[in-house]
Structure 1
Amino acid sequence: MALSASKNIKRNFQVALCTAPDIDTAESLAEKMVKQKLAACVNIVPAITSVYQWQGDIEKDSEVLLIIKTAEELMADLGDLLETEHPYEVFELISCDIEQASAAYLQWLNDEL
């Protein structure tokens, strides 16, 4: 299977990452993202451990990772959704460009967003 950055599609697709405190929160956020067409797909990875500094202390928490497939122009709206729906005071939303993928997958992303 050849990978490509489909020439027929003029959107910049992204993979975004966001953590949530538990599976229920992750599923709720994912469903809202997909329903509102802010994400074509959200993978939920349970039982990750996050180690980070918060207010001067080193913290270690169990979290759930959301892997969000979206488009660059939807990132601001995705941030707005998380701003109102996410329980964390400071939530994670970071993204990377999808440089290559199968043409069929890119077409599916385009059709779903």
Structure 2
Amino acid sequence: MDKLGSRCPLPSCPRPSALVCFLILAASFLTYPMLRNLTLQLHSTVTGSYVSGTHSIVFANCPNEQIARDIARALLDKKLAASVNILPKAASLYFWKGEIEEVTEILMLIKTKTAKVHLLSSYIRLLHPFEIPEVFSFPMDQGDGHFFKWLEEGVQEN
């Protein structure tokens, strides 16, 4: 009898199929970010200390200040962000449909929980006029504990 079959206590125990193994592996990879975020939140709550990566700063460009303000207010209303800075007149050069474009854009710096970045990004995509809005994030590594506590309170659902 092969090694896998010899480990099974029951003689009629079936061997796991490759599909079952693949599904288990895929589910592990897909749920890792969510489980990591939950573990970080639990650690922060239990120890009272800040865990690097619990919060993120999201960068997003907008074509003008009014659109940036509208998106910022919508994110704050939905509790997807605790704070948004709107920085005027960022020069942007990029390839678009085979051509080099040069425009002036407005940069938004959005502070939120890392666990909300995916939802925040999806919501920006719904509101944004660009076909492919520039939205990306970096986890916050270190900072003032009082700021992180305030940020946490700002994105909590009531």
Pair 1:37 & 2:115 matched: no
Pair 1:21 & 2:63 matched: yes
Gaps of 5+ in 1: 1-5
Q: CA deviation at 1:77?
A: 1.2
Q: CA deviation at 1:80?
A: 1.9
Give, in whole Å, the separation in 2 of the partners of 1:41 and 1:82. Answer: 15
Give, in whole Å, the separation in 2 of the partners of 1:17 and 1:83. Answer: 13
**Higher strand fraction: Structure 1 or Structure 2?**
1
**Higher helix fraction: Structure 1 or Structure 2?**
2
Q: Which residue of 2 aligns with 1:3?
A: none
Give, in whole Å, the separation in 2 of the partners of 1:79 and 1:45. Answer: 19
Pairing of 1:1-113 with structure 2 (within 5 A): 8=48, 9=50, 12-113=54-155
4+ runs of 1 displaced by more than 6 Å? none
CA radius of gyration, larger in: 2
Q: TM-score, normalised by structure 1?
A: 0.90
Give, in whole Å, the separation in 2 of the partners of 1:62 and 1:26. Answer: 13
SS in 2 for 1:63: strand
Q: TM-score, normalised by structure 2?
A: 0.65
Mean Cα displacement is larger for which, 58-67 or 74-83?
Answer: 74-83
Give, in whole Å, the separation in 2 of the partners of 1:51 and 1:12. Answer: 32
**Aligned residues with identical type, % of pairs:** 30
Give, in whole Å, the separation in 1 of the partners of 2:143 and 2:104. Answer: 31
Cα RMSD (Å) of the superposition?
A: 1.4
* Structure possessing the higher relative contact order (Cα contacts under 8 Å, 6 or more residues apart): 1
Gaps of 5+ in 2: 1-43
Deviations 1:37-87 (A, max 9, x none): 100000000111101111111110010000000111111211221121100
The residue type equivalent to 2:79 in the other structure is K
